[in-house]
Amino acid sequence: MTRFYFVPLLALCSFAYSQKTTVCKKGKIKVNDAIVGEYNGKGGVFKSFIMGVFAPAGKDTLISVTSDYLELQDPMFEDVDMFKLNFTDAAKTSISIKNTSGYRASERTAIDFIFNDTVPGLLSSGKLDADGIKKFKEKYAFDFEGYRSQVKATEDTLTKLSAAPIKRDAKKPFIFKKIIDNSNTNAKYAQYNDYDETYEIYQDNVLLGRLHKTLTTGMSIQAQYTYWKAIPYYVMDGSLVKYSPLAILNTNSGSLDAPAAMVIYGKQWLAVKKGAYNQLEYNICQALIDKGLF
């Protein structure tokens, strides 16, 4: 016999209304339709911004939010787009968090990340919630200074390792040996192809390093050439590192007249002989050899 179970409608309604619903709109932060705070500004996308969160109808800032972007120009590490939250609690709590929205930091992306149904509440009854701040920090805090220290320590080590010259006859021609090809090409539409290739670079039968090349053809041609120098093996975070970033060049059809590669450790520009896309990778390599960097 089939049995039916009935749940009182009142219980269902109580469950539904017990769910927290956070809405941030027109400068108001609401939880279950109750205003718990306000924020300034109307959103928009900027390189940097300052946003304040206040008590309802209050003038004193409870939370100030700023944006920061750490651009490393180092293929070993990710650039970091982040928010910094400064609280006016007794401990003067400060929390840095990564912006993982997929959009550049702005008032809208900040408010949507900080106040929603999935994160610990930072405000309660128009005041800072100490327990919520503690839980938020435990879950989302990003050690910005620790990350920057790790980057610097790694770059210092790789700079020393890559400074040693590679013994070979530098007057002999160098060659590229393709070892990885993740290109997406179609012979029928050869003018619209995406190339993603990795080469080993040899001179006098000695391995100098690697080249990773990405090239997109079509209406707007874009290319990136990243060169890595072979180094004595180095262990980083339990992984064996065999190459150190050497130089990178980003270009498009409008920048071929005066191409220049960025030498990653040293942050200096290296002039490169002009050439078409199928020649530029050789010109960059030759410039690195002539400069004594390879």
Tell me: the pLDDT tens digits for 224-236? Answer: 899 999 998 888 8
The pairing of strands 50-54 and 206-216 is unpaired
pLDDT higher at 277 or 56? 56
Q: What is the mean pLDDT of the chain?
A: 83
Of residues 37 and 219, the one with the higher pLDDT is 37
Most confident of 150-154, 200-204, 275-279: 200-204
Average pLDDT over residues 274-285: 82
pLDDT above 90: residue 271: no
Q: What is the pLDDT of residue 5?
A: 41
Closest CA to 43 of 59, 27, 28, 30: 27
In the prediction, which pLDDT does 120 show?
A: 92
Of 119-128, 172-181, 190-199, which range is least confident?
190-199
pLDDT at 186: 60
Q: pLDDT at position 14, please?
A: 40
User: Where in the chain are the domains?
Assistant: 17-142, 165-290
Ranking 91-100, 125-134, 211-220 by mean pLDDT, the lowest is: 211-220
Residue 23 · residue 82 · CB < 8 Å:
no
Give pLDDT, residue 86. Answer: 93
Looking at per-residue pLDDT, the higher value among 94 and 101 belongs to 94
Give percent above pLDDT 90 in the chain: 39
Burial class (CB in 10 A: 0-12, 13-18, 19+), 150: middle
Q: DSSP characters for the chain?
A: --------HHHHHHHHHHS--EEEETTEEEETTEEEEEE-S---B-SS-EEEEE-TT--SEEEEEEEEEE----TTS--EEEEEEEE-STT--EEEEE--SSS--BHHHHHHHHSSTTS--SEETTEE-HHHHHHHHHHH---HHHHHHHHHHHHHHHHHHHHSPPPS-TTSPEEEEEEEE--B--GGGTTS-EEEEEEEEEETTEEEEEEEEEEE-SSS-EEEEEEEEEEEEEEETTEEEEEEEEEEEEEETTS-SS-EEEETTTTEEEE-----HHHHHHHHHHHHHHTT--
pLDDT of 2: 45
